[in-house]
Amino acid sequence: MNTATRVLVTGGAGFIGSHYVRTLLGPSGPGGTQVTVLDKLTYAGNPANLDPVRDHPGFGFVHGDVCDPVLVDKLVSEHDQIVHFAAESHVDRSIAGAEAFVRTNVLGTQTLLDAAVRNRISTVVQVSTDEVYGSVDTGSWTEAQPLGPNSPYAASKASADLIALSHHRTHGLDVRVTRCSNNYGPYQFPEKVVPLFITRLLRGGRVPLYGDGSHVRDWLHVDDHVRALELVRTRGRAGEVYHVGGGTELSNRELTDLLLEACGADRSRVDHVEDRKGHDRRYSVDWTKIRDELGYRPGKDFATGLAETVAWYRDNPSWWQPLLDRAAL
């Protein structure tokens, strides 16, 4: 009799989703788990991210759209749990055009949740972001903070979170929402600041610093994020929101200096560019709840994590160079 837990991972070919899948099916994973990845393979979804687990007997892949109700209903009916990563996630792209963000992040989440209710799924983890709260000058947002998103991306994720939680309250669906700070690590598509700066600097190019560079973010290694997600999936409570922080707050200027040093470059390679529209000054989430309830603490110190990340991009140009060529980043 097959007692393996069947987990559907949407957006599992992206940066964080693929790291989650590789961890779940890797030697340090829980075992007894079957994973199916549903991914549309947009520009940020890369099949190569899943190569390390492609031959695992518990792995399956479906090329498809989370907004396709027929496909989603079929897949959901074959699984026990869902971890929902699939999303458009780049703020600059949402400012240029929000339609894809509303479609994928809002309609896609609703499509998935409706199928979960019909098929009596045991648990859904909705993976979200600290950006749904907007900016905070001092202190840190708790999970009780009302949402105040400022970018179209953040607004679409806030909408998805509210739809997810409404399915818990209305239908009794076991939904657990996570909101994380800025992730970094290997396999991250090079439009985000850390891999963008690393790949440009490694090629001898220049990097753009928005505005005065004083915007502050908390940095979370993807290893720690994935550990937190597993704690929430396996031990979290239905209808709850959990913050996942990294414990390293840096201004963009400070981050830039660290990346320059790690790549053997100096400040002459920095271009100061016009600030992003509606650019939030600071994000900070209080992750006391997940620490006290589930025992989460970030384990990767930033200096080590950043050095490892730079080394990975330096050693794997065959992964990122084709992406740069296609996207002209």
Give the relative orientation of helices 252-262 and 302-315 as an angle to the nearest 10 degrees.
50
Domains of the chain, with CATH numbers? Answer: 5-183+221-244 (3.40.50.720), 185-217+248-274+301-327 (3.90.25.10)
Q: How far from 276 is each of 93, 204, 205, 216, 223, CA to CA, in Å?
A: 11, 25, 21, 14, 29
Determine the pLDDT at residue 328. Answer: 63
- pLDDT one-digit tens code per residue, 37-85: 999 999 889 999 999 999 999 999 999 999 999 999 999 999 999 999 9
By the 8 A CB rule, do 291 and 235 touch? no
- Contact partners, residue 113, CB within 8 Å, separation at least 6: 124, 163, 164, 167, 173, 175
Determine the pLDDT at residue 1. Answer: 43
Q: Is 153 a catalytic residue?
A: yes
At residue 132, what is the residue type? Answer: V
Instruction: Give the residue ranges of the chain where pLDDT is below 70.
Output: 1-2, 327-329
| Backbone φ and ψ of 167, nearest 5° | -70, -30
The one catalytic residue in 39, 114, 133, 153 is: 153
Upper half-sphere CA count for residue 95 (Cβ side, 13 Å)? 11
Determine the pLDDT at residue 179. Answer: 98
Q: Is 43 a catalytic residue?
A: no
DSSP 247: S
Q: Is 296 a catalytic residue?
A: no
Determine the pLDDT at residue 152. Answer: 92
The one catalytic residue in 39, 88, 114, 130 is: 130
Would you state the torsion angle of the CA atoms of residues 106, 91, 42, 315, taken in this order, to the nearest 10 degrees?
Answer: -140
Rounded CA gap, 126 and 129, in Å?
A: 10
The one catalytic residue in 39, 65, 88, 131 is: 131
